Structure 1
């Protein structure tokens, strides 16, 4: 069975920077022209990805990843490519669309201010249903994402027996991979979400499997400071 899942959020993206700036200024729109799937890393995000690679290069052989599973979004694929290049690793890579970020439907590109202004009924419905079960029109709830991730975990365990897998993806995806793999309740998941975020290029390690995993480390960014890369904290757009 797969023995170790190393979950990595992509490095800081131009979308992260724009969304944080827009939220702080009270703007309605994030203001970025690319599709979410095509949004690139920022310069700091590229530095973070290289620092991640330096970290991977320094791992003992028994902890080093043997294969990569990656979101198809540009920011995740670029993070994986830069990290592997910096580490000097040539690993087989599986790009799987089920690891993509949560889809926001009609709320895509809006800040929390924009949602309140343009879709007040949706804002009220989100408050009533909560993060786990609110599905924006044309988008996904967290529960929807968890459903597709259950199939990813099953396929991954079958495809990568006794291998250590690096998974490069997104903050909500990492939370929900933990929810699935650690068999969390909704209450436990939301308590952890309220207590911390998943920072850019952070490392979360799950061990055990195939049905029940445990977190060996969560949201670890020590490797960034150790390699002079900035630590950045950008909550996912639309997940407040």
Structure 2
């Protein structure tokens, strides 16, 4: 178990609420959009994926998120805030918690990290098709859930690590509330696991829905046991209410096997 992980925050049986937050807009999000619009093969990110920071707008989104979180009554605030260790998620969590004025330490858990892309890292779709045409065909054949790039992960691989995180929600003290700050694929796959989705269902969702930066997804389970109920999904109203731009940085929408 990770020394900084979820079970060190709170222990023994039955979380009742789960908040899922996507990080604010990152410099990588901006670079990927610019590369796609320019027809480039390589995304000129400023650092390795784990070290990519929030953009200036992403920082503003994190502050707006924190302002929204500050409205939560003290009795209903999360008992634990756990972040992906990637800089963009960690920065979002820390800015939001500080802005909200919550006296809670942001913990890290590497199981919440973004999907690893292996040899396809930093490549646009055009770059993959140009440099690794066989991989491009294999990705189309297998679909997003099961395609694993060399040196990387499939969505199924990510779901496997997330299952252990979500299982720990069943071993927390009764009545506990948890907030996870993570990535778009992670949020999609939490839905896949908690709602028992089929491959077709999760890929249909991924093809039609982009997880917005600094958005909030909320699950409830008042009894602290059994299945979770999706209360709200991909909500970013707190950004528009505060005059902060809502950004949509989605991955490749070609997700179904062919």
Q: Does the alignment reach a TM-score above 0.5?
A: yes
Query: For this structure pair, what is the TM-score category when the shorter chain's length is used for normalisation?
Result: over 0.9
Of 93, 110, 118, 1:80 maps to: 93
Give how far 1:165 is off: 0.8
1:56-75 aligned at under 5 Å gives the runs: 56-75=69-88
Whole-Å separation in 1 of the counterparts to 2:23 and 2:254: 17
The answer on whether the counterparts of 1:111 and 1:237 sit within 8 Å (CA) in structure 2 is no
Whole-Å separation in 2 of the counterparts to 1:20 and 1:222: 23
**Greater shift in the superposed pair: 161-170 or 119-128:** 161-170
CA offsets per residue over residues 54-87 of structure 1, 9 Å max, x none? 0000123454222101100000000000001110
1:125-144 aligned at under 5 Å gives the runs: 125-144=138-157
Whole-Å separation in 1 of the counterparts to 2:92 and 2:109: 15
Of 3, 12, 15, 2:28 maps to: 15
Give how far 1:26 is off: 0.6
Gaps in structure 2 of 5+ consecutive residues: 1-13
**TM-score normalised by the chain length of structure 1:** 0.95
CA offsets per residue over residues 102-157 of structure 1, 9 Å max, x none? 00000000001100000000000000000100000000000000000001111233
CA offsets per residue over residues 139-179 of structure 1, 9 Å max, x none? 00000000000011112331454211110000000000111
**Is the counterpart of residue 150 in structure 1 residue 163 in structure 2?**
yes
1:225 alignment partner in structure 2: 240
**Greater shift in the superposed pair: 181-190 or 74-83:** 181-190
CA offsets per residue over residues 29-71 of structure 1, 9 Å max, x none? 0011301000000000000000000000012345422210110
**TM-score normalised by the chain length of structure 2:** 0.89
The answer on whether the counterparts of 2:207 and 2:254 sit within 8 Å (CA) in structure 1 is no
Instruction: Figure out how many residues of one structure are paired with residues of the other and give that number.
Output: 240
Whole-Å separation in 2 of the counterparts to 1:23 and 1:112: 8
Of 227, 249, 253, 1:234 maps to: 249
Of 56, 81, 94, 1:43 maps to: 56
**Greater shift in the superposed pair: 97-106 or 159-168:** 159-168
Whole-Å separation in 2 of the counterparts to 1:46 and 1:161: 34
- In structure 2, relative to structure 1, the CA distance for the partners of 1:211 and 1:129 (3 Å cut) is farther
Matched position secondary structure for 1:86: helix
**Greater shift in the superposed pair: 114-123 or 202-211:** 202-211
Give how far 1:237 is off: 7.0
**Is the counterpart of residue 55 in structure 1 residue 68 in structure 2?**
yes
1:108 alignment partner in structure 2: 121
Whole-Å separation in 1 of the counterparts to 2:217 and 2:75: 17
